[in-house]
Chains A and B, each alone.
Chain A
């Protein structure tokens, strides 16, 4: 298949034009999103938590979640480790304290509202948004229910309503986005009697944590969990017990989740640009080889016929 110069130029032109369509894809870069300025964060001081579950009760009330089997004043549920469920956006878990065996450690677990959330990066309908307040919100009106966000979340937070047929949703902590935009505090923060949860600008939360390290050096592990984990989260933790002993993974690294797939995604334009050229080239080469083989065969036949010129019979053409 031979193409004319005109056709070739036409195709190249069309290909070039097509590159102007569409949004620029996020290729692998060094740029990292460090949060909207003035966005909020929550500092959870694990040394202050006494496991009273007031935060769980407040979350249940503010989000109008169904009543649990055991009331929130029942502290026996702390004997087993729990995770978030479709009816529980946050849980408090109890851990042993090796330094003071008589005072166990409690800490509250919920969505960490990462600066570059894995769920938002993974969602193929952009159902998650990292808002300017710092909250990562979920829009159930576009969710298809593929559950890739649950796969992607390194903290194992999102849950899915598998028992719903027509309206199954992803459920997770919203950082009380509607309340915060009205100037109120998130439900859990407001309810905590010990002020184990502090709310304010993310830079201020880090300042508070560092001030506490300075004032009480023997009380804390000198590390703010969430400052850099997975590129940084909006829920920061400080603790007197090493984080690993609380079941918080210390091996997540500081790379934001979107960067992990940015490399693979950025190869798409390369493949789209190069593969057709490569394959068309291979096709052209193979076609050419065929043609050459054909020509050689014809030549061989023709020369064979020439040597047979002595025969008076009609030359027969073989195709």
Chain B
């Protein structure tokens, strides 16, 4: 055997491999043969986390990670020392500046000085007296803190909260509502033109000529927190000044809700006749819709659910065909779409459709084909007022009058009335084999559905006739007092001529079990709950 280099070289290589393995050994845990359960991360969810994104324009590029600032933590700490917001937020023309220790924006270097010097000074002072405080060294502030996540929930006014402010301000609308005069470049109060702040104050600060509309965020903090803080300083009851007071999900639930809010007085109509043409009403149009504005005010929490951009009528912005200019403002949406778009809370159809998902309604409505072509007579439920040229005497009545009277007139004149002959029990014996016939308490079920209508005016309007309730199960058939049996249309399954029609067994089970599942009727989800097992004779 030749002595020499072979052994040490071989050994050296082995050592190299061992070293590699040692470094790779911690990877053995990474992919175990079986999948390890997901570790739940422990985050600190808070609503008051402020990142410094708003300084992006000034800083252009951050050299270090931005500090994570917890606003409520500081508010609470200052409160303990009997200090208030003015410690950090300077006074600007009588109201509070939302910027830290400054009134207007400054250069990068000055901004850095303002933040670092002021923050560290206060921290150092607090530490000097032996209390807990934030960091004083740069890197202790400027570091990633992935364990802290923002749980901030958006906040907005609803009519109950508006009413409470209205009451507190003793009906002085000008306290909050204003418009901007471009000539005098001042804010002024325009009576009768009050609307939601969001009509002008959007997500980002915008500039339209000389008029600068600050973002909703800044505007609302300026308007709300400033007032709250001042009111609190006078030892009166006021809204929150802490972030969590408005932006924490749990705290939002604690906000007092006024039970029956009186109608906001802004000169809105009680009943409206929605015209279906453009403003000039030039061409013959679809039958008009009587609309109870008053009733719908009760059904909704805000005005802006429907009045997306202004408190005027829909046709002000939405033209018949939809505009091809102004596409950011929603004006490209045609009038018909604005009223009928499914899935959108602002349209009539969309809102009504969302109400169908309620547990009391879903038993039938969940299984209705969303894209079905309804009969044109279905439009008449709303579109019931003929256009002026088409009628004689009716054209002389005032619009509001007509809107109030029409639904009842229509029902009396045009609506058919059938007597509903609902059997008490239906014995379903089409498929007796493994199980005995099912005894379906038809009468009881129908009565309970009629009773559910009491809860919803919307449901009562569309189910003006009891026979409409039959359509939930006796579908694809004209409304009569005596609808056909299921087996009339549903026969053997998988008929190539009727590809999309289930067979009789599938129909029964899909209809019944589907309805029970959607309406949360848990009693009838096992086989023998509906039909007993058949005892084998042989």
Contacts and interface: CB of A to CB of B under 8 A. Distances in A.
A89 B230 CA distance: 75
B499 interface: yes
Contact of B509 (A103, A193, A204, A215): A193
Contacts, number: 49
Interface string A209-230: 0010011111000000000000
A50 interface: yes
Contact of B496 (A50, A195, A200): A200
B505 A195 contact: yes
> Could you say which interface size class chain B belongs to?
20 to 34
A215 to B, nearest CB: 4
Contact of B494 (A50, A200, A218): A200
B105 to A, nearest CB: 46
A87 interface: no
Contacts of B507: 195
A195 B493 contact: yes
Contact of B506 (A185, A195, A215): A195
A192 B508 CA distance: 12
B509 A194 contact: yes
A180 to B, nearest CB: 12
Contacts of B494: 185, 198-200
A215 B493 contact: no
A215 B499 contact: no
Contacts of B506: 192-195
A199 to B, nearest CB: 5
Contacts of A195: 493, 502-503, 505-507, 509-510
Interface in B356-404: 369-372
B525 interface: yes
A150 interface: no
A207 interface: yes
B112 interface: no
B317 to A, nearest CB: 29
Contacts of B496: 200-201, 204
Given A198-B494, A216-B369, A103 B505 contact: no
A217 B499 contact: no
Interface in B499-528: 499-500, 502-503, 505-510, 513, 517, 525, 527
Contacts of B499: 200, 204, 207-208, 211
A52 interface: yes
A217 B506 CA distance: 21
A103 B371 contact: no
Contact of B510 (A48, A199, A208): A48
Interface string B240-266: 000000000000000000000000000
Contacts of B517: 103
Contacts of A185: 494
A207 B494 CA distance: 13
A211 B510 contact: no
A50 B509 CA distance: 10
A193 B493 contact: no
19 contacts: A48-B510, A103-B517, A193-B508, A193-B509, A194-B506, A194-B509, A194-B510, A195-B502, A195-B503, A198-B493, A198-B494, A199-B493, A199-B494, A200-B499, A204-B499, A207-B499, A211-B499, A211-B500, A217-B371
Interface of A: 48, 50, 52, 103, 185, 192-195, 198-201, 204, 207-208, 211, 214-218
Of all A-B residue pairs in the complex, the 9 with the closest CB atoms, nearest first, are A195-B506, A193-B509, A215-B369, A194-B509, A195-B502, A200-B494, A199-B494, A211-B500, A204-B499
Given A200-B496, A216-B370, 7 more contacts: A50-B513, A185-B494, A192-B506, A193-B506, A194-B509, A201-B496, A217-B370
